[in-house]
């Protein structure tokens, strides 16, 4: 898609069978945890997976469904649930949410550390495992602090925007 950067950017979102498989896996994980992936939760997760990049809550609300529009509390509750269950992360610096693909590829680790590489030109966002997690946990433990979650955001330019 054309962008203010003057070059094309491609969505890395899921479609078709890949999207269906991811939603089915999320439904199975919820059931195994005694939770329900209700239709609003599933629709919000579907939108995040389709986008493949961070999406603001009000954009999710606007795109929710023409047949059954959602009110802000519905979408925010769904985002809260998806975040707590490890299906989504909040990108603080962008005030947006992104689907967590590590949940499906790594067996759904609880409270895993997340690091994001965020392109300031096109907005492309990639989740990576932070190599510094052990040192953060060790430093925190030495001070009697128990880390529950770590999120790191690094801003810069992606390969396409740099060239």
Instruction: Judge whether 15 and 5 are in contact, CB under 8 Å.
Output: no
Residues 39-76: tens digit of each pLDDT: 999 999 999 999 989 999 999 999 887 767 888 999 99
Its pTM stands at 0.83
Q: What pairs with residue 89 in β-bridges?
A: 98
Instruction: Judge whether 85 and 35 are in contact, CB under 8 Å.
Output: yes
Instruction: Tell me which residue of 26, 87, 102, 92 sits closest to 56, measured CA to CA.
Output: 92
Each domain of the chain, given as residue ranges in start order, spans 16-162
Report, in angstroms and rounded to the nearest whole number, the Rg of the chain calculated over CA atoms: 17
Query: 16-162 sits in which CATH class?
Result: mainly alpha
Instruction: Tell me which residue of 114, 62, 63, 66 sits closest to 86, measured CA to CA.
Output: 114
Residues 75-123: tens digit of each pLDDT: 999 999 999 999 999 999 999 999 987 655 444 445 577 899 999 998 8
Rounded-to-integer distance, Cα 139 and Cα 146, Å: 10
């Amino acid at each position: 898609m054309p962008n203010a950067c003057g070059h094309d950017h491609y969505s890395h979102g899921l479609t078709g069978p890949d999207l269906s498989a991811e939603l089915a896996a999320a439904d199975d994980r919820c059931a195994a945890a005694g939770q329900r992936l209700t239709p609003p939760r599933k629709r919000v997760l579907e939108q995040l997976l389709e986008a493949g990049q961070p999406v603001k809550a009000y954009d999710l609300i606007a795109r929710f469904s023409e047949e059954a529009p959602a009110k802000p509390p519905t979408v925010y509750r769904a985002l809260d649930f998806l975040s707590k269950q490890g299906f989504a992360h909040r990108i603080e610096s962008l005030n947006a949410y992104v689907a967590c693909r590590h949940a499906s590829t790594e067996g759904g680790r609880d409270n895993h550390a997340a690091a994001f590489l965020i392109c300031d030109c096109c907005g492309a966002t990639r989740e990576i495992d932070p190599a510094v997690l052990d040192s953060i946990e060790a430093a925190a433990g030495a001070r009697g602090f128990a880390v529950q979650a770590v999120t790191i955001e690094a801003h810069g330019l992606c390969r396409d925007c740099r060239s």
